[in-house]
């Protein structure tokens, strides 16, 4: 199975093509300023050529809002993707969760320097894990060293590969079960000594929100972020297995290689992701969220400064609190997050001043260069992406 990886190389197209024939990439757009996003459209078409069934994107800049689609949203009918498509956003959920935790800190209800043990006594324990030595801040910036439960081989076979997925796609998993699975492994490193992306961190963050507020973390996300920003396409599905319309189908190879049949994986119980990656949104809502966040409309100045204080990942990428910073080849710095879950690969990015933003989705998880789409939009040229995007393949990223 694959998890989120960090690398400066291009996210290679790993499939020669789909096993189901695609119609010629149909590109539809309502641009703000004719010809201003040609490189982005070409990068979207290149992703379809590489095997992604379809792409939907919406961007905002000083000229207004533009949208474009490429490829198809349904391999059986050939129906194109829509600019209004809702899709599973995977780990983009993490920025929403971090925002709520920081709001709680601003209200004096918790501190990022609190230990995990203080809020979730006895939960992070075993095989060298010690919640008393891990802070909430270390959960949010992935310096806790806690093992990533989705990297467990049995979990991967059960939920991300073909035989297991079709047998278990509707299973409900409790967050305590996900953490317990992580505790069966040794930590990746001593808390605060290194960096490694771990979905377990944000499962725990969601549980802390529930302990601090007495309400489900999804309720807090809705009342603190979704409703104030009027994000009408954004939801926290819990155990709901469908994606609300308008939406496209989601496709996966359900394999560790990009060869073989393509499967429709649209329906699944996202409780296996919980606060690490269960949310649903669309490109317009994601642009609004990240723009509002970076412009200080969701957090006081002190908490936004904490969120944007990063630890290095590699030469061009660093990670804050549920928020990633990447330096593009043209010198532009962008902030945001990527996300991957069965059949869905998404990116949401903005400049720090919120002046320019982009959100897009591939409805396939085995191919396509998301970094190239980002470079094309923010640098205006078609180059291979060097930012740390998602590696293709099934899994929660």
- Show the beta-strand stretches assigned E in 26-171: 28-29, 54-61, 64-71, 86-88, 125-126, 129-130
How many whole angstroms separate alpha carbon 48 and alpha carbon 286? 22
The owner of tokens 């549980």 is: 207
User: Does the global pTM surpass 0.85?
Assistant: yes
Provide the pLDDT for residue 36: 73
| Residue-level pLDDT at 154 | 98
Catalytic residue, candidates 19, 67, 82, 91: 91
Indicate the DSSP class of residue 390: P
- Within 10 A of 127 (CB to CB), how many other CB atoms are there? 11
Average pLDDT over residues 65-80: 98
Catalytic, 91? Answer yes
94: helix, strand or coil: helix
Q: Using pLDDT thresholds of 50, 70 and 90, give the confidence band for residue 259.
A: confident
Q: How high is the mean pLDDT of the chain?
A: 89
**Residues 257-280, mean pLDDT to the nearest whole number:** 96
């Amino acid at each position: 199975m694959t998890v989120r990886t960090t690398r400066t190389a291009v996210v290679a197209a790993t499939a020669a093509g789909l096993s189901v024939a695609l119609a010629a990439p149909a590109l539809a757009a309502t641009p703000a300023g004719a010809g201003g996003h040609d490189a982005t459209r070409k990068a979207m078409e290149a992703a379809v050529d590489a095997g992604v069934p379809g792409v939907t994107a919406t961007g905002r800049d000083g000229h207004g809002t533009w949208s474009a689609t490429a490829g198809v949203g349904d391999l059986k009918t050939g129906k194109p993707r829509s600019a209004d498509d809702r899709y599973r956003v995977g780990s983009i959920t993490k920025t929403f969760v971090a925002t709520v935790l920081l709001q709680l800190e601003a209200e004096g209800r918790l501190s990022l320097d609190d230990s995990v043990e203080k809020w979730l006594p006895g939960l992070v324990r075993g095989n060298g894990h010690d919640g008393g030595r891990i802070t909430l801040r270390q959960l949010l910036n992935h310096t806790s060293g806690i093992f990533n439960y989705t990297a467990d081989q049995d979990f991967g076979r059960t939920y991300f590969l073909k035989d297991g997925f079709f047998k278990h796609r509707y299973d409900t998993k409790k967050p305590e079960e996900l953490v317990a699975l992580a505790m069966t492994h040794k930590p990746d490193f001593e808390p605060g000594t290194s960096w490694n992306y771990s979905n377990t961190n944000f499962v725990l963050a969601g549980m802390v929100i529930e302990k601090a507020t007495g309400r489900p973390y999804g309720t807090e996300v809705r009342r603190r972020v979704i409703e104030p920003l009027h994000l009408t396409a954004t939801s926290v599905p819990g155990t709901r297995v469908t994606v609300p319309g308008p939406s496209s189908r989601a496709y996966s190879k359900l394999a560790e290689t990009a060869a073989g049949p393509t499967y429709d994986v649209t329906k699944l119980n996202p409780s296996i992701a919980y606060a690490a990656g269960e949310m649903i949104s669309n490109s317009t809502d994601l642009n609004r969220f990240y723009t509002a966040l970076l412009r200080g409309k969701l957090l006081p100045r002190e908490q936004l400064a904490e969120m944007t204080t990063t630890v290095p990942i590699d030469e061009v990428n660093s990670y804050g609190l549920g928020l990633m910073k990447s330096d593009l080849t043209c010198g532009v710095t962008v902030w945001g997050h990527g996300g991957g879950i069965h059949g869905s690969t998404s990116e949401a990015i903005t400049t720090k001043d919120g002046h320019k933003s982009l959100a897009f989705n591939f409805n396939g998880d085995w191919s396509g260069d998301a970094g190239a789409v980002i470079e094309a939009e923010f640098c205006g040229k078609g180059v291979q992406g060097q930012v740390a995007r998602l590696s293709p393949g099934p899994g929660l990223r």
